[in-house]
Chain A
Amino acid sequence: MAAEHVVVIEDLVKEYPVRGADDTVQLVALDAVNLSVERGEILGIMGESGCGKSTLAKVLLRLEPPTSGRVEVDSEDIARLTKSQAREYPRKVQMVFQDPYAALAPRMRVGAALEEPLAIHQIGDKPQRRQRVEELLALVGLDKSLAGRYPHQLSGGQRQRVNIARALALDPEVLVLDEPVSALDVSVQAQVLNLLREVHQRLGVTYLFISHDLRVVRYLCERVGVMYLGSIVEDGPSEAVFASPMHPYTLALLHSIPDHQAAEGGTVSFRLKGEVPNPIDRPTGCAFHPRCPMAQAICTLQRPPLRPVGGKRFSACHFAEDVPELGRQLAQEATVS
């Protein structure tokens, strides 16, 4: 497969100054993130709150400048764009926000909201834009009569469809989806997930799908990156990662999901202890070691790099090769009990 990377992220660091009692300390939101996204793939980024997944989205959309490291989109360093490149950047990368209620201006009709991107980038004349708005509405499965409605007259699912349509108006290459279905009800969530999949098949847009919900990520994404405390700890094809994780954090997350189709009576005993540490005082060595059931002495001293572990998979664990064995043991215990 000719892997053409549309996004390449190298050693990306994002720090925020936080004023402490005595001095200003740096909160490390992104701690050397390495990630490449192939053109046309659906990459899931999953992690719990505070893992840096939303900061990653902000940097990628140029809402926040990186502290250090490189982010390349279409082989251009997004921190060093010329003025005209910066103006054109929104046509390459777009975003769908989590809260469909908050992401639409309350006093702007749906039609006007969908026309906005075209007007901002001076695409087409009035009738052409109107035409495009109708196309967009059709693309996301909404009736064109909705163009005259205000956001508050729409349901949550309809609003999220409008947001998706708007993000697609400029034909972006990359669509960053920040928890796009987590504010929706289960039945509506399924509608939107199906829509996202359809749109991907039809347009071939690259998705960066950020979510805390592993079940949704597993369903939609071809590849998955797991984040913990500002870094990617595991990266690989979703089938493989979900079938047999190669980082203990991924394994623990999988075992934490309440799954209504889990084997009945299979009580799972593998739980993460404690909570995510404050990013201001990141643990030494491997950031996960205080909560890791496999931690050894080396984990407290040496930070494991994200290294290839075979089959297009990467893991930032000293003992990545031993994780599948632990997973098998846990699965056995579950079926036995």
Chain B
Amino acid sequence: MELIGVPGDIDNLPLAPESRGKRWREKASSFRRREGSGTFLAGLLLFCVMAGAALAAPLITDHDPSRNNITARLVPPSWDWSLTERDPKAFPLGTDGLGRDMLSRILYGLRVSLLLAFAGLCLSMALGVTIGMISGVFGGRVDAILMRLVDLQLAFPYIVLAMAIVAATKTSIPILIVLLGLAGWVYFARVVRGVVLQEMQRDYVRSAQVLGASRWRIGLRYVLPNVLPAIAIIATLQFPGLIIFEATLSFLGLGIQPPTPSLGGMMLDGTQYIASAWWVITLPGVAILLVTLSLNIISDGLRQLLDPRLQTA
């Protein structure tokens, strides 16, 4: 049973005891040498810059994102940053129809978007992973019922449901988080179930069964650690989806209510000026694009890093 890829032969890896730190360093350095790791790091950097700027918004701009300034309506972006230093009232990315500073609105909006999407992500992860694990580990009727639930949600246009819920209740942050959570859990549930089913067929699960381990134990101690990489990958894939979903809700006027800035809401405002002041709608869009793009790149890189099939060599 000789493989041509003998170097992958794990039998022959050096056996010297290794510290955790050293192993991570080795992992990291081997990752750097891997193809595509450059774009991954670029994505990570971009995301860190965007998220950092959003979180540090008060340090970057002095403007109050919700203060109107009728004298400075629809000021176009000015790339002359030196102006900012001389005049704290300058608007590097221009102003919107009410004379509010675009840069600060984008930063604060991004902050809200990221926090909302992250909270929604955590909720959908908790829900989806739990359901996927239960479905995969227990199988049978439980699995059938849970998966029909998934099908149901996938078959139903969720945005319509979300609109109905918002219309019936009244927009509030907790409701939005629940809506975002409910939007994402199906993907977690499906993928986790798939991976679990695959793992359940493996000999190590069978040998745990032979030892008398309960299903819960098998699920949590044996299978879950092998599902974690998949969860990390879906999380980075879902995150941008939720950001866009939040923006969509706001764009439809169902999300964060003014005057709290949100990227979707800003784009909604921008539709009025689409012909006269392009930046009002474009710049929030670019912000969404950059954040989601960076997350997608990170997700791709993560898959390469964590996929055990790519990792064996």
Contacts and interface: CB of A to CB of B under 8 A. Distances in A.
B207 A153 contact: no
A255 B212 CA distance: 41
B217 to A, nearest CB: 7
A150 to B, nearest CB: 10
Contacts of A91: 212
Contacts of A156: 11
A95 B212 contact: no
A215 to B, nearest CB: 18
Nearest to A178: B203
Interface in A82-101: 87, 89-91, 94-95, 97-99
A60 to B, nearest CB: 10
Query: B interface, by DSSP: helix, strand, loop or mixed?
Result: helix
Given A153-B15, A156-B11, A183-B1, A106 B213 contact: no
A169 B233 CA distance: 37
B206 A120 contact: no
Contacts of B211: 90, 94, 116-117, 120, 166, 170
B207 A106 contact: no
Identify the interface centre among B17, B204, B213: most chain A CB within 10 Å of its CB: B204
A102 B206 CA distance: 10
Contacts of A90: 210-212
A191 to B, nearest CB: 14
B217 A95 contact: no
Nearest to A148: B17
A103 B210 CA distance: 11
A152 B207 contact: no
B210 A102 contact: no
A153 B203 contact: no
A19 interface: no
Given A63-B206, A120-B217, A106 B212 contact: no
Contact residues on A (Cβ < 8 Å of other chain), bracket:
20 to 34
B212 A102 contact: no
Interface string B4-47: 00000011010101000000000000000000000000000000
A183 to B, nearest CB: 7
Contacts of B206: 63, 97, 103
A107 B225 contact: yes
Contacts of A89: 212
Nearest to B217: A120
B11 A155 contact: yes
B309 interface: no
A13 interface: no
A163 interface: yes
A104 interface: yes
Contacts of B11: 155-156
Interface in B173-230: 202-204, 206-214, 217, 221-222, 225-226
A102 B199 CA distance: 11
Contacts of A106: 204, 226, 308
Given A152-B10, A153-B13, A183-B1, A105 B204 contact: yes
A103 B212 contact: no
A152 B1 CA distance: 18
A87 B212 contact: yes
Identify the interface centre among B1, B10, B13, B308: most chain A CB within 10 Å of its CB: B10
Contact of B213 (A99, A102, A120): A120
B212 A63 contact: no
Interface in A136-180: 145, 148, 152-153, 155-156, 163, 166, 170
A152 B209 CA distance: 22
B211 to A, nearest CB: 5
B13 A102 contact: no
A117 B207 CA distance: 10
A120 B203 contact: no
A208 B113 CA distance: 62
A80 interface: no
A156 B3 CA distance: 15
B311 to A, nearest CB: 10
Given A105-B222, A156-B11, A163 B210 contact: no
A39 B272 CA distance: 88
A116 B15 contact: no
A129 to B, nearest CB: 14
A95 B213 CA distance: 14
B217 A163 contact: no
Interface of A: 61, 63, 87, 89-91, 94-95, 97-99, 102-108, 116-117, 120-121, 145, 148, 152-153, 155-156, 163, 166, 170, 183
Interface of B: 1, 10-11, 13, 15, 17, 202-204, 206-214, 217, 221-222, 225-226, 308
14 contacts: A95-B207, A102-B202, A103-B206, A104-B207, A105-B226, A106-B226, A106-B308, A117-B212, A120-B217, A153-B10, A155-B11, A163-B207, A170-B211, A183-B1
List 6 tightest A-B contacts by C-beta distance, closest first: A90-B212, A102-B203, A107-B225, A103-B203, A105-B204, A155-B11
Given A90-B211, A94-B210, A116-B208, 14 more contacts: A61-B210, A90-B212, A95-B207, A97-B206, A102-B203, A103-B206, A105-B226, A108-B221, A116-B213, A116-B221, A117-B212, A120-B217, A145-B17, A163-B207
